Structures are given as C-alpha cells and as structure tokens.
Chain A
Amino acid sequence: MDLRTLTSLSGVSGNEYEVRSAIIKELESMGISYECDVLGNVIARKGNQGPKVLVDAHMDEVGLIITYIEKDGFLRFRPVGGIDPRVLVSKRVLVGKEKIPGVIGAKAIHLQERDERTRVIPTDRLFIDIGAESREQAEKKVQPGDYVVFDTEYEELSPGIVKAKALDDRVGCALLLEILKQDWQNIQLYAVFAVQEEVGLRGARVAAFAVEPDMGIALEGTVCADIPGTDKEFQATRLGKGAALSIMDRGSIPDRAMLNQLVKIAEDEGIPYQFREATSGGNDAGVIQQAKAGCPVASVSVPCRYIHTPCSVMSMSDFEAARKLIIKFLESVEGGFRP
C-alpha cells in the first residue's frame, strides 16, 4: 500500500478503524496471518524460528475530538495528541465517520483589537463550522465524541518530496508493510501496527507484553527542523540526509549494540543515515523496552518536517534509506547478530 493511500485514511488515536481495516485487507491479500487485540493493535506474524523481533509502527495520528455542540451549530473540540494550537486556525477538517467537511474559523483581523493579534488563540476558544445553523441541524450529522482529521491532500511538492497529513506514522506503517513482503526464515517477526501512540504509547505497551520479544524496533516519522531560523545544532534531523537513528529520547536509550550494528550496516552498504540529534520526544520503543523483564530496543525513523500539523513534508529518498537499512538489519539478525 502506498503512502498516498495510507495518509489519506483517518486514524486519530482511539479511532484507528480506517487504517486498521486497510492494513488488514492488505495483510490478507499478502497471505499473512495476524491477530487483533483488545486495544485494537494488529499483530502480523512471519517466520517460525530464531529470536522474537518486534517491529512497531503506529497507525494513529494526532487530530481532534468533538466535545460539545453549541446552540448555534458550532462544534467545540479538544485536541487528541500534541497539537500546537497556533496551527489550527484557518484549516479545513473532516468530521466524524461521514467525513463532514468543516473549517476552523477565527475572528476576522478587522474585528480584532491590536493586541489580540499577538496572542495565541487557545484551543478552547476555537470552534469548527460545518455550516449548520442550529444544534438540531448539526446533531443530524455530528455527535460529541466524533473524531476530526485534517483535510489535507497528498501531493508531490517536487520530485521525491511529498506533503501529507499523518506521515507520523503512516510512513512507519508503509515501512512495516515493506518488511512483511520479504520472506523471513530465521527470525520470528512480530509486526505490530500499534494504536494510541500519540496519547501515551498505549497500544505498543500491551502488544509488547503479549509478544515478549527478544528485541524491539520502532519505525517512526520523526521531528525534522532543518528550517530557517533553527541553528544546525537544534535541527534534530535533515530532510534527504537518510534514515534517522535515535541516540536517546524521553522514553528510551537505544541499546548500544543495536545502534552500532545499524551504523555499521549503513556504512558497509552505503545507505545514507543520520543521527536524530535530539533527546526530546519519545516513541513506542520506550514501552517495548519496559515490557515484562525488558528487551533491547532501537528506533529507525524517517525525518518529517512539520509533524503534528495538517501538512508534513518528507523525502522519499529517506524512506528508501530507512527501508533498506531496516531490512538489512533484520537480515543481519537472521545471520546471527544479537544485542
């Protein structure tokens, strides 16, 4: 399944139905066995001998949830996952299962006091306008508890540079599907398409408990700030410079043997790579590492500019580098590498 399809699906944390269904359909067409658990994770299996390797990508994306419908038909909402309220104003969204189009409006600049313009509008002052004229009319299409996604089209901005919503972490899902295309003989691969990463690494935690892996790898779309105004030392990653390897983040310190092995493979195979030069943020590796009696982990990511906004940007060359690197790494585990 390509990134265009994957990123077009709705999957706000806790409401991953569309993504899950599409992935299950794909797994079935590939003839791969899988299970769903009670949180909604999809765990696909390949290979029957060798170490248990859990490779994780999360299906969910940040978004909004409707909390209340005003008398005049405007929708109140709260963010699901970490969204900077400053990116919300003047965006198009799709509300609920029926994907009702809506816009996040704001008071016109003409009507604002001078000092209002410099202040951030907090999310609890924002609202969605679906064109309803009353609560009754709105309630025909929308209920409190309905999820909202950004309405963003997948586009190629220039050759190999794509723009979409939810690249974090559909790019990981795409990588995981690529891995599953290969025949794995000497590892027991547990491909976990996880739910609820953005609200606290919830899905991966229970999946890792069930799998009890010998090692874990998180595949991510990660922060990238190679943008004007950010000094080199604070950019974290750079677009087009290869697969990003985590050195440490809030959730885990990657196993040094696994990290060194990834570096060695990248250098031996001439695969472009970079370190994720930041320790902020966290991903599913944090909870995989802590499952039961613990296991070594690493993270391989694709740099994505503007993650957690309606439109993120990534380079297909980085995707390709990450794909090659993770597959070569797993082959090395088949060949006997152990952390």
Chain B
Amino acid sequence: MKDLIKRLTETFGPSGSEGPIREVIRKEVEPYVDEIRVDALGNFICFKKGSGGGKKVILDAHMDEIGAIVTHIDENGFLRFANIGGVSPVISLGQRVYFENGTFGVIGCEKLDDIKDLKLEKLYIDIGAASREEASKKVKVGDMAAFFQPAIDLGNRMVAKAMDDRIGCVVVIEVLKRLKQTAHDIYAVFASQEEVGLRGARVAAYGINPDVGIAFDVTGTGDTPKSHTMDVSLGKGAAIKVKDSSLICHPGLRDYLVKLAEENGIPYQMEVLERGGTDSGAIQLTRAGIPAGVISIPSRYIHSPCEMVDLGDVEACVKLCVAACESPLDF
C-alpha cells in the first residue's frame, strides 16, 4: 500500500487537469472492475457489478489536488498565478511546482515591507526562463501547476502532497481489490474538481442516481500543539463524519457505519469538521436527495505539501468500507 500511496500522491492532477492521475488509477483498477468510463467533467467512473438484490452504491474519492494556474507571463519570463482551490500564500512561499509537461518552477515573492502583506498576488513562479518568449515555449496562460514534493515514509505514517485526496483514492482502490463478494452494484467514482466546489461528484451522482453515497476524504485533527479544538487524532482509526460545512451525514447511515465498526473491531472516531466540505455534500443534494455519509482519513497539515496520514487509520477505513459493501446496507 505504501508504494501505491507514493505513486498516487506523486502524480500530477490539479482540478481540471486530472488526465495523468486518471491514467495511473486506471492501471490500478482495470483488472478489478467490470466497466470504466470518463464523463463530461473528467470523472473516472468504475463499475463493479454486484451479485444481485443489493443497492446502487457510490464510493467516491476525489482525484484532483490543489494547485496554481498561470494568469500572466511577464516580459522577463516570470509567471503570475492564481490559486486552484484553497492555497495559502504562507505555505506556497519557497515551494517547488511542476507542470503537466514536466516543466519545473519555484515560487518567489516580491519584496515585502511587512510579512502581513503576503498575498498570492505578491508571488510568482520562476521557471528559469530569461524572457517571455523563452517562457512561452514551455508554459502558456491557463496552464496548471501542482506542488512538487516526493512522498516520505515515516514508518507507520506517511507524508506527501495531495494526500488530500489521493489517500481516499487509495482506500477505494484497495476496497475494489479486496472486495470478493457483494450484492451491491458498486460505482467507484474518482471525482474531478472537488477542490473548486465539489463539481465532479455533483454531476457524477446525477448521472449514476445511486441509492447510497459514501465519500472517502481527509479530515483535520486536533492533536497537534495548540491546534484548533477537534476530537479527531491521527492513529485512532477511521473517522465517521457527523457534520461538516457541506453536509450533515444521513443519521441512519452514520449509525450503521458505527455499528459495523464496533461489530468488526475496527477502530473509529466520531468527526465534526467545522470548516470544509466534501463530495458527499453534493451527492446528498442530488435529485430528490440521496442518503450520504463520509468515512474520513484523519490528516495533519491539510492543503500543505506535507499532508500526513497514519497507515493504521487508512487500513481501518478500507476495512470499514469492505464491511459496508459486504453488508446489506439496510439502515
């Protein structure tokens, strides 16, 4: 699994440019699913037929990551950029980025009189070009960049960029691999454009029209020095979401997941996330409403290039999802 996490997190895929990550996921899941398609927004939808008598279930993890989009190339070849999703200027400072075509760059900053003036507008990407002409050979306005950071293995924990939400993709891929027998028709949705407003999941859910939707995404923790108050910790198991800004999880499904975790001895914790949303928020509000829940992977330093997860938690999420898929889901 470590190898899969490394491969997925190190692949390029800011919102709207999910081509490369989609291909990596395709290779992983192809042997385990019955049908594969890509929809108009670039969602990668894998269908695994159930043995019958079950429900239509979406397992969603978004494959896009935050990044930068080039908005201007100046005469000296510096690139101005805007954020794709929630990018903090503080965290961007001094980072390396790369483009889909392999071009590398570093983020520089204008001279600031006061660090409080630090805003994304003060930053630029330097790709080492000496002029607009030279830069334009490699990059054009509208091209997207991702942060560049190799994944690191800390033993039972791993750190990488784009753990949000490639770790969710890892969970869903692992579930597809391990799932031997299920009554349910499973639609694994590797969603696009979550970071810019849950856009992929919204249209995918409309198209699929499922009976149940479960999203797998990262959530914050409250276990770091003087952190925000939150009762989720790294290493204490799968987080079963109650609420975030985008949804209140279906209470029946939520309690059903809790019961499954307890029956199967899977470590879990309850999660209330005060800020942030996830794909289930869009799935729930599809058509006349769809029961939706979230199994979250606790993660520190979300939306930085150093997002940290605990492999025990990941394993717990996989087990809980497998248990859910093998259960009747009759909440």
Contacts and interface: CB of A to CB of B under 8 A. Distances in A.
A247 B73 CA distance: 14
Interface string B51-86: 000000000000000000111101000001011100
A259 B142 contact: yes
A253 B194 CA distance: 12
A309 interface: no
Interface in B201-217: 202-204, 206-207
Interface stretch (A121-129, A181-189, A271-279): A271-279
B121 interface: yes
A248 B142 contact: yes
A339 B69 CA distance: 21
B40 A279 contact: no
A253 B16 contact: yes
Interface string A297-339: 0000000000000000000000000000000000000000001
Given A234-B121, A247-B141, A275-B142, A294 B41 contact: yes
Contacts of A293: 39-40, 203-204, 206-207
Q: Is the interface of A mostly helix, strand, loop or mixed?
A: loop
Given A253-B16, A296-B40, A290 B141 contact: no
Contacts of B121: 234
B142 to A, nearest CB: 3
B280 interface: no
A253 B15 CA distance: 8
Given A290-B202, A294-B207, A233 B142 contact: no
Contact of A248 (B40, B82, B202): B82
B141 A289 contact: no
Interface residues of B, number: 26
Contact of A247 (B39, B71, B74, B203): B71
B72 A233 contact: yes
Nearest to A296: B40
A248 B39 contact: no
Q: Which of A248, A256, A278, A339 has the most CB of B within 10 A?
A: A248
B199 A290 contact: yes
Interface in A228-259: 232-234, 247-248, 252-253, 256, 259
A6 B196 CA distance: 35
B41 A289 contact: yes
A232 B69 contact: no
A295 interface: yes
Nearest to A292: B206
A233 B71 contact: yes
B182 interface: no
Interface in B136-193: 141-142, 193
Contacts of B142: 247-248, 259, 275
A295 B40 contact: yes
A115 to B, nearest CB: 25
Contacts of B206: 292-294
Contacts of B15: 253
A279 B69 contact: yes
A295 B40 CA distance: 5
A76 B49 CA distance: 62
Given A233-B72, A293-B206, A256 B40 contact: no
B72 A290 contact: no
B17 interface: yes
Contacts of B16: 248, 253, 256
B40 A275 contact: no
Contact of A290 (B70, B71, B74, B203): B203
A295 B206 CA distance: 12
A289 B83 CA distance: 20
Contacts of A233: 71-72, 74, 80
B199 to A, nearest CB: 6
B141 A292 contact: no
A277 B17 CA distance: 18
Contacts of A295: 40
A252 B15 CA distance: 10
A290 B196 CA distance: 13
30 contacts: A232-B74, A233-B71, A233-B72, A234-B72, A248-B16, A248-B69, A248-B82, A248-B84, A248-B142, A252-B199, A253-B15, A253-B16, A253-B196, A275-B142, A277-B71, A277-B72, A277-B80, A278-B71, A289-B41, A289-B199, A292-B207, A293-B39, A293-B40, A293-B206, A293-B207, A294-B41, A294-B199, A295-B40, A296-B40, A296-B41
Given A293-B39, A294-B202, 10 more contacts: A247-B141, A253-B196, A259-B142, A278-B82, A280-B82, A290-B203, A292-B206, A293-B207, A294-B41, A294-B206
